[in-house]
Amino acid sequence: MEEPSFDELLSRETLRAAAGDTYFERGEDYFEQELVERLRVLSGVITAKVQGTETYEVRIAAAKGGLEFDCTCPLGDDGAVCKHCVAVGLAWIDSRGSSDEYARQLDDIRRHLTGLEKKALVEMIMGQVGDDDRFFQRLCLTARRDDPGDLASTFRKAIDQATKSERFVDYRSMRAFSRGLEDLIRELSSALIAYPDECVGLAEYFLSGIEKKIHSLDDSAGYMRPIIERIEELHHAACVAARPEPKALARRLFGRSLHSEWDVFHGVVRTHADVMGREGLAEYRRLAQAEWAKIPQKEPGAKSQFSDGSFRIRYIMETLAEVSGDLEELAAIKSRDLSSPYYYLGIAELYMKAGRHDEALDWAERGRKAFPKENGSRLRTFLAGEYHRRKRHDEAMELIWKNFGDSPDLGAYQDLKAHAERAGQWPKWREKAVGLLRERFDAAKRKNSPQPWMTPHQSRLVEILLWEEDVEGAWTEAKAGGCHPELRMKLAHLREKEHPQDALQVYRAEVKRILERMGSPDYAGVVRLVRQVRELMSRLGREREFAAYLNEMRTVYKRKRNFMKLLERVKSVAI
């Protein structure tokens, strides 16, 4: 069965459904500004470059009866369909069929290369080698695979070149940097079958280089963790083939897992148990127990220091106990540190998972008793659940009410409702919760803060009422007590059909707020709001007023040149 074509799959509607309204509209702005370049289609894949804050590469593939989107922007890394993908999709729709020229050009190139003599091909490739560092590196690694000594030496040099540069790798350069590492991983994987012994050491050397380099790069987008995990997987595969001496391997892995600042070989007891074998695991456990004996007991109130490295040996010991399935050993390890309510909760959850409710309750209550003032919402929630199970509903609600009082937001309200319904008492607790929010709002108003950003508002109550689908109640609270702009906009959108005048006032106020705040406003978003203002004024028969509104903005914000360019596209009358 053939895969559906782009003609069947790709449309404005499918793009909007995949990206959502916000990213679709931003992508549409990018397309209209002609920021899509080098649009090409080949073998069921659309590729293009999009000019944004930097140049992003977009790939749209037809696969498994649907569309797969990929972009090199940070949002694309999270798997979302971003505005750049939308812009490329719209560009393909606009130029449907014309991008087939790229496939024809490739066919011409293939025919030409096929007809060349070997010497001419070699000369052409050598010319490319001098201009493309990544291509040069790949050919070097491939050329040295025939000799183990050359292989190891060449890979070490390549790893050094990739990881030992003193240059700081900033956020924008991380994608290219990580791709270079991925190229190395692919080449090392290709060499594994023929040279597994060398690949064991090279993988460990590779990880050492990455650990040192991480100090001089910005990995806020999270590129390095998957790369480390891939090298660890490659290391395991090499160990399966090479079968290194178990005890020596265990000693190396233990040293790396204990001292690594970046969690290299962090879960090695699970991932490498088969290659360490019984002897290696016994050696690993012996080393771990010797190190664990140095860690002192921490009683409630003791200062817990994350920087002292004890968390690593603690994790190692817990993993050993989990792998062996020894519940009591695991509980004993966890009870070595009781410096916070969190640790009591961890032990309680352990026994709960095993179905041992009495021991679970005992540890949770011990935690609450040890920390009477700061026992934490998670511990209280755990206790409340166990009290409900034992029909001790009043005690459960006392704990959950304290959680709500500490942080009366929507999440705590939802939790309060769930517990109150278990007790059959929701109307009573709902009234109490709404009353508390109003009391705190009134108290904040009485303080009369002179700072505008500290002006009290009813955002939490508005959000709760919206969750309860009481749109009119939320609007009333917002008008009386104010709320965040995002909530005000949501209310306007929900009430727009029946109350266009109210929505119109909110949209106009939001346009002004965005244009007059500090920073770089989202001009494309403002223009979309202006179009909504036009639609509402048209519904209300106020077209002349909208024309005057446009002229007023052109006068007041004429220095905002980028905004003026986008505003020129807005017609005075809705079409």
Last residue of a domain, one of 114, 149, 172: 114
Cα 303 to Cα 301: distance, rounded to the nearest angstrom: 6
Are residues 502 and 418 located together in one domain of the fold? no
Q: Is residue 275 part of a domain?
A: no
Q: Confidence class of residue 452 from pLDDT cuts 50, 70 and 90?
A: low
Its domain, for residue 416, covers 340-426
DSSP code of residue 302: P
Give the pLDDT mean for 411-438. Answer: 97
Residue 189 pLDDT greater than 60, yes or no: yes
Q: What pLDDT does residue 357 have?
A: 97
Residue 405 Ramachandran class (φ > 0 left, ψ -120 to 50 alpha, else beta): alpha
Give the pLDDT mean for 316-329. Answer: 94
Q: What pLDDT does residue 518 have?
A: 73
Q: Is residue 562 part of a domain?
A: yes
Q: What pLDDT does residue 3 have?
A: 65
pLDDT tens-place string over residues 384-417: 999 999 999 999 999 999 999 999 999 999 999 9
Q: 59 — phi, psi (to 5°)?
A: -135, 125
Do 503 and 494 form a contact (C-beta atoms < 8 A)?
no
Last residue of a domain, one of 97, 114, 131: 114
The structure's pTM equals 0.69
Q: Is residue 121 part of a domain?
A: no
Q: What pLDDT does residue 62 have?
A: 83
Q: Is residue 386 part of a domain?
A: yes
DSSP code of residue 17: H
Q: How many alpha carbons fall within 13 Å on the CB side of residue 178? A: 22
DSSP code of residue 303: P
Last residue of a domain, one of 410, 426, 442: 426
Q: Confidence class of residue 83 from pLDDT cuts 50, 70 and 90?
A: very high
Question: How many domains are there within the chain?
Answer: 3
Q: What pLDDT does residue 111 have?
A: 79
User: Quick one: angle between helices 471-481 and 459-467, nearest 10?
Assistant: 170
Residue, of 141 and 545, whose pLDDT is higher? 545
Are residues 106 and 16 located together in one domain of the fold? yes
Q: Rg of the chain's alpha carbons, rounded to an integer?
A: 31
Distances (CA, A) of 558 to 514, 552, 571: 15, 10, 17
Are residues 513 and 415 located together in one domain of the fold? no
Q: Could you give the angle at the alpha carbon of 65 between the alpha carbons of 60 and 66, nearest 5°?
A: 35
Do 337 and 343 form a contact (C-beta atoms < 8 A)?
yes
Cα 275 to Cα 281: distance, rounded to the nearest angstrom: 9
Most confident of 8-17, 51-60, 442-451: 8-17
Q: What pLDDT does residue 9 have?
A: 86
Q: Is residue 50 part of a domain?
A: yes
Our measurement of the distance from residue 110's CA atom to the centroid of its chain's CA atoms, rounded to an integer in Å, reads 41
Q: What pLDDT does residue 377 have?
A: 92
Q: Is residue 399 part of a domain?
A: yes
Are residues 418 and 505 located together in one domain of the fold? no
pLDDT tens-place string over residues 36-71: 988 888 777 888 899 877 788 898 988 777 888 888
